[in-house]
Amino acid sequence: MLVLNNIEVIYSNVILVLKGVSFEVRDGQISSLLGANGAGKTTTLKAISGLLKSELGEVSDGNIEWDGKRIDRMGPDGVVKMGIAQVMEGRRVFQHLTMEENLKVGAHLRKDSMNVKKDLDMVYDLFPKLKELHNRISGYLSGGEQQMMVLGRALMAKPKLVLLDEPSLGLAPIIVTEIFSAVKKINVEEKTSFLIVEQNARAALRVAGFGYVMDNGRIVLYGESEKLVDNEDIREFYMGLGDLGQRKSYREVKHYKRRKRWLG
Amino acid sequence: MDTFLQLVVTGLAVGATYGLIALGFVLIYKASGVLNLAQGELMMFGAYICFVFSVQANIPFYAAVALTLPVALLIGAVIERFFLRYMIGQPLISVIMMTIGLMILMRGIATWIWGTEPKVYPQVFPQESMSIGSVNISYEYLWAAGLSIFFVLIYIIFFRFTKSGLVMRATSDDEHAALSIGISIKKVLSQSWAIAALTAAVGGIIIGALVGLDTTSFPQYGLKVLPVVLLGGLDSIPGAIIGGILIGLTENLVPEYLGFLGGGMEELAPYILVLIVLIVRPHGLFGLKRIERI
Amino acid sequence: MGRTLVKTLSISILVIILMTLPLLIACSDDDEKTENAPEELPDIHVGMSALVTGPYGAYAPITWGYLDYMKDLNERGGIDGAQIEVHWKDCQYDVAQSIAAYADYSKSYDLVAFTGMGTGANLALAERCAEDGIVLAAIGGEPELIWPAQEWVFASSPNHAIGALGAMQYAMEQWDEGRVARVGIAYPNNPFGQSIIGPIEEYASELGYEVVEKQEFELTALDAVSQSLAFRDDEVDIVYVQGTAKSVAVLCKDMDRQGFIPKMVIGPLHVIHPAFPELAAGTGEGVIGWNPFYLWPQDMDNESVQYWRDKALEYSSGDIVSEEDPYMSMLYMWGLSVGVLLEAGLREAAAEVGAANITAEALRNALENVTNFKTGNSGFQPGIGFSPSNHEAYSATSLMQVQDGVWVRINNMFESPWKFAE
Amino acid sequence: MRLPCGIINKSYSQDTAIVRTNLQWLLLVLALITLFTFPYWASPHWISVMIGVWISIIGVMGLTLLTGYAGQLSLGHMAFVAIGAYTVAILMSDLNWPFWAALPCAGMISGCIGVIFGLPSLRIKGFYLVIATLAAQFIIVHIISRWDSLTGGVFGLSVPKVTLGGFEFKSDFSYYFLAMIFALIAILIAKNLSRSRIGRSWIAIRDNDIAAEIMGVDPFKYKLLAFFFGCFFAGIAGGLWAPYLRYLTPEQFTLMGSVWYLGYMVIGGMGSIMGPIAGVIFITILDEFTAEMVTDLATGSPVFAGFVQASRYIVFGLAIILFLIFEPRGIAHRWERIKNSYRLWPFSY
């Protein structure tokens, strides 16, 4: 179980980005972290995975525990070794490596080379399209294929928890659906937990069991997905639905009156 | 025609040696994006360590070479750990300056330990030459060329088929993504410096066997190879060897056939060749094109 | 913030200390000098822009030889009791640094003579010395400094061209094929390399040989195949290589591989290095080098060589000689020869005007009156002498040859032709 | 520029003035007095050292404009210094031009040749540009050392002295003023250039040339301008070296010299005008210190020749390395921080 306990993150000794964030991701659960641009979602993920340090950020207060062990002082390699894999925002593929090499490099920390082969097949089963493309240079793949590949690459490390950053970014809805159903499948079959950061709240809440909403460096709202979906604020701000559940017309946006009912 | 063939063969052999030295540059650039100007000094250290084993400790030459390699690996790792590690995230030019600082320091240490008098290995390669038709090619050059090609093959295999090689290539592609999948950049950097130092040591030993050792002129061979590296592409292993061969050929053929342009053209020709190639292909013949984003 | 402040402060203090240290050292040095000089006779000041470190650090033995000679001279009582004070600074073959050192010493002390290192520095210094009226006691080697004789420049030993001509003279004495010998020259493109070409070509008609091929050949070249082929194709009989032990070895090896064995291979004094036969891996057999000095260990019976070997060990000027490696560097002798030149001039000047009144002017005039100066300690070279038209200490060389893998002297000092001086 | 409290800009000319406060005026006057009286109280040794410092500052200032501001890495700056030096030498000795006419010529010729070698920079970037400038180093010095009829080849040529009216700049004492005045003018020009439209465009190109192009900065024009000014300064520096050394040989303009120019800049701090000044002074003093050390080591006994020969390398290498580890952004940056913490003390936040 991943527990974030009141963490505070500061960039370059000056910029306070997270102001006391606490939440938890239970084993075997899919949680989602929602919020607008600049709310601090990605920073939260980086704080967990240890990538903050390479960007002059640090966790200045609070702690992050994973199965009872503190991980906020660890480097990214240590965190991955503990079983937490991160899929970075924007499909960071190793562009000069082939598809299969990309997947294999994801398993570089594992010693059981026999099972790696098996997991490779598992990823190919999950995304049959990738199998056809296994010898292609990954830099030339389409966005959807790249997103599937980086997700597969993270899975190759056999993680217990996957931190998934904006998987829907810039992708067609049908591919988003495909990716999220794969996430659901892995979650069911392999008991892998997920923490999904999304702006596409509707898609995320459809697969997630639990949701947290971030705004301005704080968790402002959380609850079961079903409850969040019904929450008026969520509907208003993240799904673009009006009071009656219909799509809002742009004419109404002009007369926008509603205020967020939380303190940012 | 005989002269032409002879010069081509010599050019190939010398070029392969250049290629081997260039490999050291490429390895470090691939892993860390650093152009290591102290490569000539790494070569010198390798060559002198082999000298210590083979002449001063009187160990048979091939055993001495075998003993030199682990020491070279260690030197590379130590340099990375104590000097280059602090340069992560600094501007490129500061990193270059760091390698220049290393260059000066290493020259100093070598001068201190071994002095400035020339030193000689015991005879390593047979002095006789092999004749193919009218072309004479010495065993020294054959060995040098053979070893260079051997090492290139080893590195190609290493980078293509081993896990460490894959990890190093991944790191050079995207450092942050590599971090995110748990690759320890520090480990990769120290590995690549160690391997580069080993390559440099082999290159140094070959050059030492060809022309002897001394602390004052030896480091120049490192800088002489710079056009080779940039011609082939800073991050291409086959590029290093092909660039080496091209420069080797240029150096040998130019004075014979373009000698009318004035003496010493063989020193200029590599630079002119590289300039022309770079204007057409800004990343060298085989270098990977970095996609520039805003 | 407190931590950063401490770091800031500590580093700034470090910087300040680093910046002021040299000043402190310089100051403390000056104090010592003024305290430790209570002599009756005023010191004679000479200066040197030395070459000890840097990319040409291999030439450091010249400086050691010079300093050792002066130390020895002072121990022997100096010039009629006047001690000689050497002011020197390591200038790394850098012209600007040499000029700075010269400016410093010539302003701060009553210099009588100055010695520079490197052709560029010497040519620049020659003009300044002439202006200020200070003797430039040059190390032999650069013909352009003393051909023609400049008023204030004196060279301590034969230059490269003289050595080359001496060697050519010897080669022609050995030549018995009854036809014009064909000579090839390999030279690096620097003053050292180019200085010999003209004289060798000019000398050709007189002795009856012909320079048929000139090839540029860098001192750091990895191979010499194209040079070897050019010499082979032109059927060169005698190859003159202006190079170092390393580069001559490379050329010898490559000529051998191309199946081309010239009748004679001649190199300059740098070739005479004990490592050369090994560097050339057997192909250096028979190579000739010219040499203006007697040397350890070939001339073990020469008293002067013995003397200087013992002195070098006593002053322990490092690795120049050691018990295990009984080799005395040619460069060390070069340094000594400058000392001989200065001693000769100063003794002559002291005889004329008295040791207390030696000025640069007096030294210059005295040097032109020196004839066949030879002390027991300077017998590693022939007696030296100058005249108004000749500012070269002597023009004799001997030749050495690699025989069975070691350097052997093949003839005694003989007068080399130097008539091209005028 | 950070100003102390209470200083308010009331007009544009106030805002752009270099010297703002009374304290700054005082310091400036004190510094100028020190510099102008320096030859009267300093030892001959330090006068000649300072001449070298002033001339190097001009050359490194050019490199700072080219590399520090415009981001075009150059490993061949010494070659452009050589062009300036040889231009002045040839114009003065062969054509009997006065120094004052030859010097601007040296700058112009050097700058124009710099532009030619800068042309590839439009396509070649980063480390690959290093080779283009390295090629400049080799090609230019190669031509100088082989054009015997004009440059005297490897044996070099001698340079006449600088005269003004009937006065000859013959001693170090007088040459100090000549070098200093040119250096001060160069500093002023560089300072103003760096904060003009050109300087801002250079910074934009350095930071991201594609972005700069999109914002309307023409990289072609400004990169070439950077090469022109960088090499112009180098040419002026060379033009001042020539009559000071009074004898030029191609050996004086080595690759290591170019490397040291980069070293001055990096140690001093890139992208600031203070940087090259601090860098040149620091390295020169360090150089003097190591030379002094060699003499002390060698005259003490027992002597270890090997160590003496190596000592200068070791001290120098270590100094550079330690500097880069502890202050990678150069002396100028450290100086700014000291100034700021002094200004803000005791409330440092």
CA pair distance D315, D46, nearest whole angstrom? 21
Q: Does C100 touch chain D (CB under 8 A)?
A: yes
pLDDT for C371 equals 83
Min mean pLDDT across A242-256, C35-49, D61-75, D116-130 is at: A242-256
Q: How far is C85 from chain D (nearest CA, A)?
A: 12
> Do residues C271 and C198 both lie within one domain?
yes
Say whether B118 and C256 touch across the interface (CB within 8 A): no
Measured distance between the N- and C-terminal CA atoms of chain A, rounded to whole angstroms: 28
Counting Cα atoms < 13 Å in the Cβ hemisphere of B197 gives 24
Task: Give the ranges where chain B is alpha helix by DSSP (H).
Answer: 2-32, 39-51, 61-82, 92-114, 139-161, 163-173, 175-180, 185-211, 220-224, 226-232, 237-257, 265-280
Would C11 be classed as within a structural domain? no
- Whether C113 and C135 have beta carbons less than 8 Å apart is answered as yes
pLDDT for B1 equals 67
Chains in contact with B via at least 3 Cβ–Cβ pairs below 8 Å: A, C, D
Per-residue pLDDT tens over the stretch C243-301: 888 899 989 988 888 888 888 899 998 888 888 888 888 888 889 999 888 887 778 78
C55: Cβ–Cβ under 8 A, 6 or more apart, which residues? B216, C92, C93, D256
Report the pLDDT averaged over residues D38-47.
85
- Whether the per-residue pLDDT at D80 is higher than 90: the answer is yes
Using CA coordinates, name the residue in chain C closest to D347.
C1
Per-residue pLDDT tens over the stretch B9-40: 888 888 888 888 888 888 888 877 788 888 99
> Do residues C147 and C192 both lie within one domain?
no
Touching A: B residues 167-206, CB under 8 Å: 167, 169-170, 173-184, 187
Exposure string of D114-131, with b = 16+ CB inside 10 Å and e = fewer, is bbebbebbeebbbbbbbb
> Do residues C360 and C409 both lie within one domain?
no
CA pair distance A235, A178, nearest whole angstrom? 23
Is the omega angle on the peptide bond into residue C388 within 30 degrees of 0, that is, cis?
A: no
- Whether the per-residue pLDDT at B200 is higher than 70: the answer is yes
Would C300 be classed as within a structural domain? no
Report the pLDDT averaged over residues A125-149.
85
> Do residues C176 and C279 both lie within one domain?
yes
Q: Does C258 touch chain B (CB under 8 A)?
A: yes
D239: Cβ–Cβ under 8 A, 6 or more apart, which residues? D84, D85, D87, D88, D102, D103, D106, D107
Chains C & D: contacts with CB separation below 8 Å: 163
Task: Give the ranges where chain D is alpha helix by DSSP (H).
Answer: 12-16, 22-41, 44-63, 77-94, 99-118, 127-146, 148-151, 172-194, 197-207, 209-214, 219-245, 255-268, 274-299, 305-326, 330-344
pLDDT for C28 equals 44
> Do residues C114 and C170 both lie within one domain?
no
Q: Does D291 touch chain C (CB under 8 A)?
A: yes
Chains in contact with D via at least 3 Cβ–Cβ pairs below 8 Å: B, C
Per-residue pLDDT tens over the stretch D246-301: 888 888 888 888 888 888 888 888 878 888 899 999 889 888 888 888 888 777 65
| Predicted model pTM | 0.85
pLDDT for C32 equals 42
> Do residues C180 and C125 both lie within one domain?
no
pLDDT for C359 equals 86
Report the pLDDT averaged over residues A238-243.
62
Touching C: D residues 14-33, CB under 8 Å: none
Query: Residue C211 is part of which domain span?
Result: 161-291+397-415
Q: B267 φ, ψ to 5°?
A: -80, -35
Question: Burial of A227 by CB count in 10 Å (0-12 exposed, 13-18 middle, 19+ buried)?
Answer: middle
pLDDT for C36 equals 47
CA pair distance C167, C180, nearest whole angstrom? 17
Name residue C136's beta-bridge partners. Answer: C114, C153
Percentage of chain D beyond pLDDT 90 is: 23
pLDDT for C29 equals 45
- Whether B201 and B69 have beta carbons less than 8 Å apart is answered as yes
Q: Which of C310, C311, C270, C277 is nearest to C293 (CA)?
A: C270
- Whether D235 and D110 have beta carbons less than 8 Å apart is answered as yes
Q: Hey, which of A115-119, A237-241, B81-85 has the most confident mean pLDDT?
A: B81-85
CA pair distance C199, C209, nearest whole angstrom? 13
pLDDT for B201 equals 92
- Whether the per-residue pLDDT at A139 is higher than 70: the answer is yes
CATH number of the domain enclosing C405:
3.40.50.2300
Q: What pLDDT tens digit does each residue of chain C (422 aa) get? A: 445 555 555 555 555 555 555 444 444 444 444 444 444 677 889 999 988 888 888 888 888 888 888 888 888 888 888 888 899 888 888 888 888 888 888 888 888 899 988 888 888 888 888 888 899 988 877 788 887 888 888 888 888 888 888 888 888 888 888 888 899 999 988 888 888 888 888 888 888 888 888 888 888 888 888 888 888 888 889 999 998 888 999 899 888 888 888 888 999 988 888 888 888 888 888 899 998 888 877 787 888 888 888 888 777 655 555 555 656 778 888 888 899 889 888 888 888 888 888 888 888 888 888 888 887 677 888 888 888 888 888 888 889 999 988 888 888 888 777 655 44
C-alpha dist (Å) from residue A258 to A200, A239, A262, C133, C137: 21, 15, 12, 96, 95
- Whether the per-residue pLDDT at A264 is higher than 60: the answer is no
Q: Where are the domains of chain B?
A: 2-280
Q: Which residues from B are below 8 Å from C250, CB to CB? A: 210-211
Top-level CATH class of D42-344? mainly alpha
Exposure string of D27-61, with b = 16+ CB inside 10 Å and e = fewer, is eeeeeeeebeeebeeeebbbbbbbbbbbbbbbbbb
- Helices D77-94, D255-268: axis angle to 10 degrees equals 120
Chain D and chain B touch, per 3+ beta carbon pairs within 8 A: yes
Would C74 be classed as within a structural domain? yes
Using CA coordinates, name the residue in chain B closest to C188.
B264
Q: Does C228 touch chain B (CB under 8 A)?
A: no
What is the number of other CB atoms lying within 10 angstroms of the CB of residue D97?
A: 17
0.90 surpassed by complex ipTM = no
- Reading the block at residue A25, the tokens are 């991701």
Say whether D310 and C119 touch across the interface (CB within 8 A): no
> Do residues C172 and C266 both lie within one domain?
yes
- Whether the per-residue pLDDT at B262 is higher than 90: the answer is no
Q: Does D313 touch chain B (CB under 8 A)?
A: yes
Report the pLDDT averaged over residues A151-164.
88
- Whether D189 and D195 have beta carbons less than 8 Å apart is answered as no
> Do residues C166 and C285 both lie within one domain?
yes
pLDDT for C176 equals 85
pLDDT for C37 equals 46
Would C29 be classed as within a structural domain? no
B166: Cβ–Cβ under 8 A, 6 or more apart, which residues? A97, A101, A104, A105, A108, B159
Chains in contact with A via at least 3 Cβ–Cβ pairs below 8 Å: B
Q: Hey, which of A236-245, B118-127, C90-99, C239-248 has the most confident mean pLDDT?
A: C239-248
Top-level CATH class of B2-280? mainly alpha
- Whether D187 and D273 have beta carbons less than 8 Å apart is answered as yes
> Do residues C206 and C175 both lie within one domain?
yes
Tell me if residue A141 falls in helix, strand or coil.
coil
Angle at D86 between CA D84 and CA D90, to 5 degrees: 120
Report residue D14's pLDDT band, with 50, 70 and 90 as the boundaries: confident
Count of structural domains within chain C:
2
Report the pLDDT averaged over residues A252-263.
53
Per-residue pLDDT tens over the stretch A6-53: 888 888 778 888 888 888 888 888 888 888 777 888 888 888 888 887
CA pair distance D346, C390, nearest whole angstrom? 74
Top-level CATH class of A2-259? alpha beta
CA pair distance C312, C310, nearest whole angstrom? 5
C-alpha dist (Å) from residue B285 to B30, B233, B236, B277, B281: 16, 6, 9, 7, 7
Query: Within its chain, how far is the Cα of C72 from the centroid?
Result: 19
pLDDT for C30 equals 45
Q: Where are the domains of chain D?
A: 42-344
Is the omega angle on the peptide bond into residue D219 within 30 degrees of 0, that is, cis?
A: no
B261: Cβ–Cβ under 8 A, 6 or more apart, which residues? none
> Do residues C263 and C281 both lie within one domain?
yes
User: Average pLDDT, whole number, for chain D?
Assistant: 85
- Whether C355 and C82 have beta carbons less than 8 Å apart is answered as yes
Query: Within its chain, how far is the Cα of C277 from the centroid?
Result: 22
CA pair distance A175, A158, nearest whole angstrom? 23
- Whether the per-residue pLDDT at D345 is higher than 80: the answer is no
Task: Give the H or E element holding residue A63.
Answer: strand A57-66
CA pair distance B149, B240, nearest whole angstrom? 11
Exposure string of A21-60, with b = 16+ CB inside 10 Å and e = fewer, is bebebeebbbbbbbbeeebbbbbbbbbbbbbbbbeebbbe
Tokens 């048979």 correspond to B60
pLDDT for C26 equals 47
pLDDT for D172 equals 82
- Whether the per-residue pLDDT at B294 is higher than 50: the answer is no
CA pair distance A185, A23, nearest whole angstrom? 24
Would C51 be classed as within a structural domain? yes
pLDDT for B67 equals 92
Min mean pLDDT across A29-38, A251-260, B110-119, B162-171 is at: A251-260
> Do residues C61 and C144 both lie within one domain?
yes
Min mean pLDDT across D167-181, D213-227, D334-348 is at: D334-348
Tell me if residue D251 falls in helix, strand or coil.
helix
Q: For the CA atoms of chain B, what is the radius of gyration? A: 19
Say whether C256 and B127 touch across the interface (CB within 8 A): yes
> Do residues C287 and C334 both lie within one domain?
no
Q: Is B196 left (phi over 0), alpha (psi -120 to 50) or beta?
A: alpha
- Whether the per-residue pLDDT at D236 is higher than 90: the answer is yes
Counting Cα atoms < 13 Å in the Cβ hemisphere of C70 gives 22
- Reading the block at residue D131, the tokens are 């080779």
Q: Which of C159, C158, C153 is nearest to C363 (CA)?
A: C153
